[in-house]
Amino acid sequence: MKTNRGRTLLEIRNLDVYYDTIHALHSISLEVCQGEIVALIGANGAGKSTTLKAISGLVRSRGGAVVFEGRDITNLAGHKVVNLGIAHVPEGRKPFANMTVYENLRMGAYRINDKQQIKTSMERVFKSFPRMRERLSQPAGTLSGGELQMLAMGRGLMCQPRLLMLDEPSMGLSPILVNEIFSIIKEINAQGTSILLVEQNANKALSIANYGYVLETGSITLSGTGTELHDDPQVVEAYLGT
């Protein structure tokens, strides 16, 4: 896939994914370039979460390729994908509810043995999410929805990823918290982490995205800069309202 967007970090080429006989992804192709926020928007069931799962090794593809920093990682085991520098923050936050905030964050750095590196990662999380420092000894299951999302994103950052994949980070949050989460996403990106963002709030996603793709029933139907898609009549009608 040829673009003028800079050095390619992640590239998906003609990826096909099935759930038994259901063809979930139809030869989709997309890319994330170094330093970008790339948004993947679409309706429920379009295949957005499946795309992230295929990248992170949680579902297997039957065709096509996933290439990260020039290396083919198609169907690579999930823990090996993490080791390469890709962190996946799944939909629904999914904390270890009976563990403390500190223990949850520490789990995000399970692959790191250097204590100083872990301390550096923890301080980076506290810089982006000051409330996590205040909640360190609190069981994760007692956090609010917004705090759980911050914990999930912080846990993803603990492994110091080069690519952070976020699945519906604004789901179920109040408008004020949605604005806060999106501001933090921009801040994380400004610190040097590339982001692949799956988000139903297309307006917010495209407002911060360098580039975006529209996924409909398993196929990429549109692509362009965040501004181009935000102004596209088809996108406005289907996802942004008139």
68-97 confidence digits (pLDDT tens) = 999 999 999 999 999 999 999 999 878 889
What is the domain partition of the chain in residue ranges? 1-85+164-169+193-242
Closest of 68, 73, 15, 65 to residue 213, by C-alpha:
15
3-state secondary structure of 99: coil
User: What is the distance of C-alpha 54 from the center of its chain?
Assistant: 12
Query: What are the tokens at 66?
Result: 């996933």
pLDDT in tens, 55-76: 999 999 999 999 999 999 999 9
Domain topology for 1-85+164-169+193-242: Rossmann fold (3.40.50)
Q: What are phi and psi of 90, to 5 degrees?
A: -75, 165
C-alpha–C-alpha distance, residues 86 and 10, integer Å: 10
pLDDT in tens, 154-188: 999 999 999 999 999 999 899 999 999 999 999 99
CB 229 within 8 A of CB 241: no
pTM over 0.85: yes
